[in-house]
Structures are given as C-alpha cells and as structure tokens.
Structure 1
C-alpha cells in the first residue's frame, strides 16, 4: 500500500479496509463517499482490500453504497468475490457479496473462476452454495493453465470436493497444459484416497502426460510406487471385470 513522505497512507480508506478498521472506514466514507470508488496503485478499490482482510462488516458497509458494483475487477482481474474465495474462513464475506448478486462464474485474467479458488481451499460448503445458485457455478470452466476445478481438488487431495464436482458434471479425464489429468495431480501429490476416488469414478489410468508418464509414474516416494501400481491395477481390474462370483 503506497504512503506519502509523511508516512500517512496515500489511500487512507484503502488502508483502513486492509487493516479491518470498521469505525475508521465508517468515518472516512461519511467524510467522502466518493473515496469508496477510488483506485489505488494496484488498481484496487477499498472493497477489494476489505475482501482481502476478510472484514465482513466493512464489506457489508461498502456494498450498500449507491453505485456499488460487486463484480469490479482490480488490475489482475480479481473481483471482491474472487479475492474472498481465496481467503480462509471467508464464508460470511462471500455470503454478503452473493446477496449483492456477485457473478460466481466471472473469470480473472488467468481464467480462474471463484470455483477454482474455492476448490483449492477445500471450501466444501461454499462450493455447495455456489452450485445452488441460479444460474449455478460451472465445474466445466478451464483456466489458462488448462485446469478445471477438479484438477485443484485432486492436487490438495479433497475426496469430498472431487465427488461434489463430479456430481455437477465436471470432466474427469481432461488434461491441463502439462498433460496432467486430475489423477496425475492426485498421485503426484501423494493423495492416495483422492486417486482411489477418481479411479472408482472411472478415471483413465492409461493416459500419459506430455513427457509420456502415466499418473502412477508420478508417485513421489519410490518405495511407495510399487504399492501404487498394485492399487491402480486392482481398481482398474475390478472396474473392468466387475465383482468376482464364487
């Protein structure tokens, strides 16, 4: 945040929002309401900093001002809702912005939607909330790295998030720009449970990434790799042949 030579903030309202100082924000907005729509050196409005600091009271105040735009983007293309999606324990802020009709499928300049960020943070309840909106969040949006939200969920090993995304028509075997499927990401990060969930959902274990490696070749621990091969083989065999009849 830029400051003047006297160490006073160049953008005092932005700074108050960044610090989560609700009483000061109320005072500054009362003195000069138009400051709520002034951009700082990062192309951010005060609402962006309020979302970043997870200050629900300030977000509620600013979002109630005349002319408020819930989808205004900073210079990186991040809306307040996107910023809050990337902050831990931000459900209250997100719900305030949903109440102001924030666009839940808006993309930043990296092509990410809020669902990409929410999947990365394993915010399962909020993901459910987004799917319940009308129109709902889409699990079928690819970012500029070629990743869908399911790639993010697999990389952090969240089996509940993977299951939820698949229930809402997420692609299962789509590859990102490196040729990684969700299964590649799960195994590369050592998330065996997530890998099993993907395989049981029908993930293709024979797909190779751009270097020619199978997902099971990416198991991080060499000693664990043989067990990973057996796990994949057993699940694939069960899916192909069905249960054994005695």
Structure 2
C-alpha cells in the first residue's frame, strides 16, 4: 500500500475509529477534507455512519454545505448505511440525517431504498421511522423485490404487518423470478410468516416463473405439513 495512503485518508480512519477530536482538528486545518472521497468513493460521513459514530456524524452534519444525500460507489447514502446497522443501532443517526432533510427515497445502484436495508436487518424501529417520514414500501429493487419480500424471507411477522398496514405494501407483488412474499416465506421455511401472509390476503394459486405454487417451495416435509395443517385449521384451502 502507498505509504501516503493512510495519511491521505486519515480523516476516514479517524471517522471509523470514532476519534472525534482528530476529525475536528483535521477539518479545522482543512475543511475540504469533509468531502474527500476514498477508494470506495466514501466520504468521512459514510464511515462515521457505518461504524455508528454519532458524535462524528453530528460534527460533519453541522458544517456548512453538508449534503446528507451524498453517495458512495454503490450508490449508498449515509441514511442507507445507518438503516442497515444491526439491532437498529443507526436510529439516532437516521433522526439526525432526517433533520438535515435527507431524502428517504433515494435508491442505491441496485435499486434499494433505506427501507429494503432496514427490513433485511429486521430493524423494526428503523422501518417505522422511515415509513413515518414517507419512505415508500412500494418500491421494487432491481431484482423486483419490495421490502415485504425481504421481511418474508427473514420470517418477520411484525415487519410484514407494519409494511402492509403502515406502508400500504401490496401483498401479492412478484419479483423478477415471479416469487411473491409468500413464496419467499415458505422457501425459507418460515411457517408462521406464511400463515400470516395467507390471512393477509396472499393469493395461494399464484405460480412463479417456473410454474410452482408457494407451498411447493417448502424446504422439507416438516415445514410443508405444518403450513398445510395450520392453514386447514384456519379454514384456508391450499391449491
């Protein structure tokens, strides 16, 4: 590695490591460092968000000409990065970015918005905040997936409930493979999530691009029989 590399990107490293005083003194010496892109086209703000360094995000966001929607090489904004932290740890950063008028509906280069990322990580409070700030649950990414597809794939009933009720997500939308949220829930072995979707109006006779009903994607007999028996008890007739 170029010996000047770490010196050149010292502010990025300080942002990652949570060294607020170092970031501050580097900026005081050269304010332009706030908009210096590293090899991943990330600014210090991206790294501060990725490592959940709230004081550094606050410091960077308080500077004049701060752009909350700046993207890295994958088209990720600081808001998307914060939304994808585990255990909803990025919520405080998200609140701060929203106060700075961050655009909740920006899409990454793969067509995902912050809601896709928050849903994938099972971040319920983050999803609620994003929806309350008009982040759309009806946007498909480049694979044709809605956040609901993600929630179904991880088997999160609370998230699916929020996306359907608060996000007005369509329940029967298909992705590029013709898979509905129900297909995803069953394929990943999430019986309770599948039953929830059936009760929420999932079309049971929808086939994917290979002509398969959702129930045919059950990974094993145990999951399949659990879903069939529970559906019967609920008065739901499978194809």
> What is the aligned counterpart of 1:148 among 126, 129, 146?
146
State the superposition RMSD in angstroms: 1.8
TM-score (norm: length of structure 2): 0.92
Give the C-alpha shift of residue 100 in structure 1. Answer: 0.8
Corresponding residue SS for 2:8: coil
Q: How do 1:184-195 residues align onto structure 2 when only pairs under 5 Å count? A: 184-195=183-194
Paired position in structure 2 for 1:106 = 106
Give the C-alpha shift of residue 137 in structure 1. Answer: 1.4
Give the C-alpha shift of residue 237 in structure 1. Answer: 3.2
Give the C-alpha shift of residue 238 in structure 1. Answer: 7.2
Give the C-alpha shift of residue 44 in structure 1. Answer: 1.0
Equivalent pair of 1:155/1:186 in contact (CA under 8 Å): yes
Q: Give the Cα–Cα distance (whole angstroms) in 2 for the partners of residues 237 and 76 of structure 1.
A: 43
Give the C-alpha shift of residue 226 in structure 1. Answer: 2.9
> What is the aligned counterpart of 1:161 among 149, 152, 159?
159
Pair 236,173 (structure 1): closer, same or farther in 2 beyond 3 Å: farther
Is 1:57 matched up with 2:66? no
Paired position in structure 1 for 2:124 = 124
Give the C-alpha shift of residue 61 in structure 1. Answer: 0.4
Q: Which runs of 5+ in 1 are unaligned?
A: 240-246
Corresponding residue SS for 1:204: coil
Aligned length: 235
TM-score (norm: length of structure 1): 0.90
Equivalent pair of 2:231/2:237 in contact (CA under 8 Å): no
Give the C-alpha shift of residue 76 in structure 1. Answer: 1.1
Corresponding residue SS for 2:236: helix
Q: Give the Cα–Cα distance (whole angstroms) in 2 for the partners of residues 42 and 110 of structure 1.
A: 16
Paired position in structure 1 for 2:228 = 229
Q: Give the Cα–Cα distance (whole angstroms) in 1 for the partners of residues 66 and 144 of structure 2.
A: 33
Pair 233,119 (structure 1): closer, same or farther in 2 beyond 3 Å: same
Give the C-alpha shift of residue 20 in structure 1. Answer: 1.8
Q: Give the Cα–Cα distance (whole angstroms) in 2 for the partners of residues 193 and 226 of structure 1.
A: 12
Q: Which runs of 5+ in 2 are unaligned?
A: none
Give the C-alpha shift of residue 222 in structure 1. Answer: 2.7
Corresponding residue SS for 1:78: coil
Corresponding residue SS for 2:221: coil
Describe the superposition over 1:39-85 as per-residue Cα deviations: whole angstroms up to 9, x where unpaired.
Answer: 11111111111111111110010011110000011111111101111
Q: Give the Cα–Cα distance (whole angstroms) in 1 for the partners of residues 108 and 35 of structure 2.
A: 20
Give the C-alpha shift of residue 14 in structure 1. Answer: 0.9
